[in-house]
């Protein structure tokens, strides 16, 4: 059940992003556009962490986990921008995609940082000779 849940979370989040991207431009409240970059950042920051958690179940090395997560999230971000071309009063934006990419990189780095803190707590390094 735990494994299923780890795959369900990123899939659900991707559906949420897709639904937000499907809203025609004229139906967005004006205030939302003022926070567009923040929204993109938060969406893809969270997605990168969820995907990294799910990919961790597939591969055994951190290098592969990070690379697979990065490729998957970047391609999803690209597909999200392409999808917006077909939504009324929306368009693809290179700047939005770059914000997504930055958020993905920060999310993966943040996850690695939290994991290193967890490992330091679990396996503390000795302070040296007493």
Between 36-55 and 62-85, two packed helices, what is the crossing angle to 10 degrees? 140
Residue 127 lies in a domain: no
d(CA 89, CA 126): 59
Residue 129 lies in a domain: no
pTM: 0.83
- Residue 102, burial from CB neighbour count under 10 angstroms (0-12, 13-18, 19+): middle
Residue 111 lies in a domain: yes
Residue 60 lies in a domain: yes
User: How many other C-beta atoms can be found within 10 angstroms of the C-beta atom of residue 13?
Assistant: 17
> What digits encode the pLDDT tens for the residues 24-59?
876 565 555 556 788 899 999 999 999 998 988 777
- How many domains does the structure of the chain reveal? 1
Residue 130 lies in a domain: no
Residue 97 lies in a domain: yes
User: Helical H runs in 22-125?
Assistant: 30-34, 36-55, 62-85, 94-122
pLDDT band at 18 (very low <50, low <70, confident <90, very high): very high
Residue 59 lies in a domain: yes
- Residue 64, pLDDT score: 87
């Amino acid at each position: 059940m735990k494994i299923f849940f780890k795959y369900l979370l990123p899939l659900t989040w991707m559906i949420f992003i897709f639904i937000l991207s499907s809203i025609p431009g004229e139906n967005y409240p004006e205030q939302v556009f003022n926070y567009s970059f923040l929204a993109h950042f938060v969406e893809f920051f969270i997605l990168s962490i969820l995907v990294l958690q799910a990919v961790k179940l597939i591969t055994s090395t951190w290098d592969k986990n990070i690379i697979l997560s990065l490729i998957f999230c970047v391609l999803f971000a690209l597909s999200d921008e392409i999808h917006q071309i077909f939504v009324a009063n929306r368009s693809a934006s290179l700047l939005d995609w770059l914000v997504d990419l930055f958020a993905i990189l920060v999310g993966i780095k943040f996850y690695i940082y939290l994991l290193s803190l967890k490992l330091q707590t679990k396996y503390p390094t000795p302070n040296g000779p007493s």
